[in-house]
Structures are given as structure tokens and as C-alpha cells.
Amino acid sequence: MNKESKIDYALMIPALIITLAISLPLALFKEQGAGIVNKVFAFTTSNFKWAFLIFGLFCVLFLIWLGCSKYGKIKLGGPDDKPEFSTYTWAAMIFCAGIGIAIVYWAFIEPVYYMGGPPFGIEKNSTLAAEWAGALGQFHWGITPWAIYALPTFPIAYAIHVKKIPALKLSTACKGIIGKKADGALGKIIDIIVIFAMVGGVGTSLGLAVPLVTTLVASVLGIQESMTLQLIVLGVSTAVIAGTVWSGLQKGMAALSNLNTYVAYFLLLFVFLLGPTIYILNLWTNSLGILFTNFFRLSLGTDPVANGGFPEAWTVFYWAWWIAYAPMMGLFVARISKGRTIREVVFGELIFGSIGCWIFFAIWGGYAIHIQTTGILDVATIVGKVGTGGTIVAILQTLPAGKVLVLPAFILLCVIFLATTINSAAFTLSSQVTKKIAGDEEPPRVNRTLWAVLLGVFALGLLLAGGLTAVQLSSVVAALPLIPILILMVFSLMKWLKEDYDDVLSSGEVTLTEDKIKPVN
Ligand code: NM2
């Protein structure tokens, strides 16, 4: 069968319309766009912050319970299935799939913002604010976000590997509850929301990455940054990526992605060893102490009386951003986790994922806190004057060989991450709108290329509407309708686990033979 004919137009067309209907007006009517964006952001975050926060904590508690419960022993796969990858490779794949440009963007700069605007009435730029800055980075890039990522993995993995239904769409993983409706209108609505969320989440990544890359490039070339330069960066990267996707140079992309992990290791070790090693270790230890003692307060802190804006700007925004990426991660992690038990996957993802992010924040964020608190560079003042990108450049230049080595390596890291993020998003989006695609099959390349271009257009809209709020809003609005869908998936999983395993587990068996798995209608 001709591959191009396999596009599911009932999904593709609404997804296309929604994406364009949001990006084009934002791009064309910039001024009004920015006003609306601010209003919608304030409305959504102030009315729903409690829901985002509760959902984040729910993910952590549910997964820890699931992993420790009798269901933890269940293998995601048949009795003879063995894990396909070594645990190290598996963990590294999960980390690289879930983390891209975003951590490079935030790790140096986020503590600087926290020091200047700490929560809980802590005094700005004080010693305590510096200590909390370390802890907040570990909180926003730790257990809760990884639990959000992990949540959809289990319903999807159970559907694919145990129920043997090809659940390459999230609607399929809701079948335990919605049954046949997953194949009808309700299923389509679910999948459109999922696609919308992915576009929104990736929009945030691109909306942050493009201005950063522009600043970095401008500082190396010694030219003025401007909107035009941003548009050139966005245009060139979209064109290069679309070209790569079109010409089938996927292997090249994978090689680039591998190269990038080495650049990241290098820059982490470089800052750790040549920077204030002991300070970093002390600050990290201390940060984890603050995090663990205050975990519930941070998790549920809505700041209801003062309404100072901290949870909206940080926790709610972050949880939303991770939620928007969660379906993509769930599909990916489910695919590579065949043959592992639920317990292994729960704790593997939560522990390896958190530690990976913690290291970035401990080293790069710790370095930023160090130069501020020891007076090497007043990043707090600089960020107010030149914004995020310029401050990152200033921080990098304080390192040995800052200009000749660190800055170019950092740019390479950002550019490759930008490319691999768009590339993998285009891949997942196009497989979402392809009918009956097998696990190892590639979605049609016209469609993949189209998605790469559409993501570029969407990012253009966000950039023109301007500012961080538009970029943050993209994830927040996209994630909100996804929360009930993710909860539906959890119910669906629980129903399946109970019907398939409750009798068996009480008799001590762990794996089920195929004849005992209840069929899905
Ligand atoms: N998250 C981790 O842009 C990226 O790095 C993709 C973003 C959700 C903030 C992941």
C-alpha cells in the first residue's frame, strides 16, 4: 500500500487547523496577540494552579504506590520477553528523549531568577535565597516532573506489551474504561487534544531556544541581536531540519544526538572540575536537604494569600510543560521497556531521570549561585539589564577559556538540541496522524516534513506575540485538557490490572499466560 495514503485525515485536518488558527493570528496581530496572551495566562494559571499542583503530587504518590504494590511485580510483556536494552542504555535513552534544549536553557539561569524572586517571603538575593535557589532547581527538575513523564508509560506499555493492542495513540490506552468509544469520536477528541498538547509543549521549547541561540550567535559573531536575526535563526533551523527529514538523513540526526551527549558530559565535567568543585558538592547536598524537608509544601504551595505569582511563573508552568510532553515520552518509554517489570520502570525512570537533571542543576546552577554569592559576577543585576541569553553568555565567559572553548561548545549543544527536539517531535506527531502504523515503521515523510514546518510556524507565532508569557502559555493551555485524559488512562490501567491479575496475584504467580489475559473489546 502507498504509504502516503495512510494519513488519518480525521486527525490531521483538525490538528492542522488548530495549529494554524493559533499561530497565524498571533503572528499577524502582534499587539493584540500579546494582550490576549497575558490575560489568558493569568486566567488559566490563577484558576487552575491548584489542579496542576495536585496533579503533580498525585503522579508521584500514585507511581510510588504502584511500584511498591503487588502490581509492581507484573512484567510489561509476555512470560518469555526479556528487556531489549541494558539498564544503562535504557536509562540513557529515557533521559535523552525527555531532556533537550530546555535543561541547557534553564540550568545556569534558573537559580539566578530564584535568588531575585524567592517564594515564601524569603528576602531577595539573601543567603537564604541562594540556598533555596539550589533547592528549587532540584524540585522543578526532580521527582515530580519525572513522575508526570512516567505516568502515561504504564497504560500505554500495558496495552502494547500485555494486551497486545497496538496503542500508538493515547486513546487506545484509555480503552479499559471507554472501550469501543476509543475508536469513535471520543477517541478522536482525545488524540486531537494529545496532538495539540505536543505542539504546545514543543512551542515552548522552540520559543525559548530560538532567542537563546540568536543571542549566542550574535555574541560570537559580534553582531546586534534583533527580531530579524531571531527569524533567520528560526527559518534556517526549520529549513535544515525539514530538509533532513525529507531527505531521510535520520541516521545523521541520531549521530548528532549522540555527539551532543558527549558535549554535554564535557561541559558538565569542565564546570565541575575547573569550577568550585567543593562549593558545588556542598550546595547540592544542602539543596537536597531543603528539598526533602519541604517537599509537600513546595508541591502544594499555591501562595493563596499574597498571590505573589511564584507558583504560576514556575511550578505551574513547569508541570504544564512536562505534562504537554508526557504523551510523547509515554509512547517512547513504553516501546523500549518491553520485558521489564512495572516496578523497574517506575523506579528506574524516577530515579535515573531525577538524578540526571539534578546533576545539571547542581553543577551549572551551583556555578551561577557561586559567582553571585562570592562576588565574581553580579548575575542578579546583569539579568535585569540584558535578560536570559545575555546573562548566560556572561556566566559562560567567567569560566576558563570561556570565549574560545566554552561558549562555542555551548552553542553547539543548543543548536543540536534544537534540531533533535524538532526532529523527534515531528516524528511523533506524524506517527500520531498515521493510520495503523507498526512499532518499527516510519511515518510518511511528507507528513513528517510538514510537521517540522508547522512547528516552525507555531514557534514563529509565539515569538512574534512576544515574551516569555506567550511561550509559557503555550504549554499551560495545551496541558490543561490533557490532565483528565491522563487520569482516564490511570483508571483504565487499574481496571486492566485488576481484571487480569487480581486472582493470579493472590495465588502467587507473577506472569500470566496469554490465554488468561482478558481480551479488549
Ligand atoms: N521539558 C523537560 O525542550 C526540551 O528540552 C524538551 C522539556 C518538559 C521541560 C523537554
Distance 177 CA to ligand 1 centre (A): 30
Residue 94's contacts (CB-CB under 8 Å, 6 or more residues apart) are: 329, 332, 333, 336, 348, 349, 352, 353
Judge whether 310 and 303 are in contact, CB under 8 Å: yes
Angle at 40 between CA 188 and CA 477, to 5 degrees: 30
pTM score, whole prediction:
0.93
- The neighbouring-strand residues paired with 260 are none
Domains of the chain from N-terminus onward:
3-114+132-276+294-357+407-512 (1.20.1740)
In testing the pocket of ligand 1, which one of 109, 322, 424 has its CB within 8 Å of the most ligand atoms?
322
Span from the CA of 386 to the centroid of ligand 1 (angstroms)? 24
From 423, 489, 342, select the one nearest 97 (Cα to Cα).
Answer: 423
pLDDT tens figures, 356-380: 999 999 999 999 999 999 999 999 9
- Residue with the bigger pLDDT between 5 and 481: it is 481
Instruction: State the cell numbers at 214.
Output: 540568536
Sequence-distant (≥ 6) Cβ neighbours of residue 87 within 8 angstroms: 348
Ligand 1: centre distance to CA 158 (Å): 25
pLDDT at 4 over 50: no
Whole-number Å distance between alpha carbons of 491 and 72: 16
Considering only 54-68, 282-296, 329-343, which range has the smallest mean pLDDT?
329-343
Residue whose CA lies nearest to ligand 1 atom number 7: 102
What is the secondary structure of 284-335 as a DSSP string?
Answer: HHHHHHHHHHTHHHHHH---TTT--SHHIIIIIHHHHHHHHHHHHHHHHHHH
Q: Is 324 in the pocket of ligand 1 (CB under 6 A)?
A: no
Q: Give yes or no for residue 205 CB within 6 A of ligand 1.
A: yes
Cα 393 to Cα 76, 382, 509: the distances in Å are 45, 11, 58
DSSP 8: -
State which ligand 1 atom lies nearest to the alpha carbon of 318: 9
Which amino acid, one-letter code, is at 371? Answer: I
CB 115 within 8 A of CB 371: no
Other Cβ atoms less than 10 A from the Cβ of 116: the count is: 17
Task: Report how far ligand 1's centroid is from the alpha carbon of 505 (Å).
Answer: 38
Residue 85 vs residues 90, 156, 333, 340: alpha-carbon distances, Å: 6, 19, 12, 10
Ligand 1 mutation pick, 94, 96, 101, 422, max ligand atoms within 8 A of CB: 101
Atom of ligand 1 lying closest to residue 324 CA: 8
Backbone dihedral region for residue 451 (phi beyond 0: left; psi -120 to 50: alpha; all else: beta): alpha
- CA 148, CA 155: separation in Å to the nearest integer? 13
3-state secondary structure of 67: helix
pLDDT tens-digit readout, 445-489: 888 888 888 888 888 888 887 677 788 888 888 899 999 999 999
Question: What pLDDT, on the 0 to 100 scale, is given for residue 375?
Answer: 94
φ, ψ (nearest 5 deg) of residue 435: -75, 140
Identify whether the C-beta of residue 489 lies closer than 8 Å to the C-beta of residue 170.
Answer: yes
pLDDT of residue 168: 78
Q: Tell the residue nearest (CA) to atom 10 of ligand 1.
A: 99
The mean pLDDT of 229-241, rounded to a whole number, is 86
| pLDDT reported for residue 440 | 58
The pLDDT of residue 438: 60
Distance in Å, CA 205 to ligand 1 centroid: 6
- Is the CB of 322 within 6 Å of ligand 1? yes
Mind listing the pLDDT tens digit for each residue in 75-103? 999 888 999 999 988 998 898 888 888 99
Task: Please report where in the chains the cell 506567550 appears, as a residue.
Answer: 470
Asked if residue 3 has pLDDT above 50, the reply is: no
Q: 7 - beta bridge partners?
A: 434
Determine the distance separating the centroid of ligand 1 and the alpha carbon of 385, expressed in angstroms. Answer: 26
Query: Best of 260, 421, 462 to mutate for ligand 1, by most ligand atoms within 8 A of CB?
Result: 421
Residues facing 75 on adjacent strands? 341
Reported as a single tens digit per residue, the pLDDT across 381-410 is 999 999 899 999 999 999 999 888 999 999
- Residue 510's contacts (CB-CB under 8 Å, 6 or more residues apart) are 73, 74, 75, 504
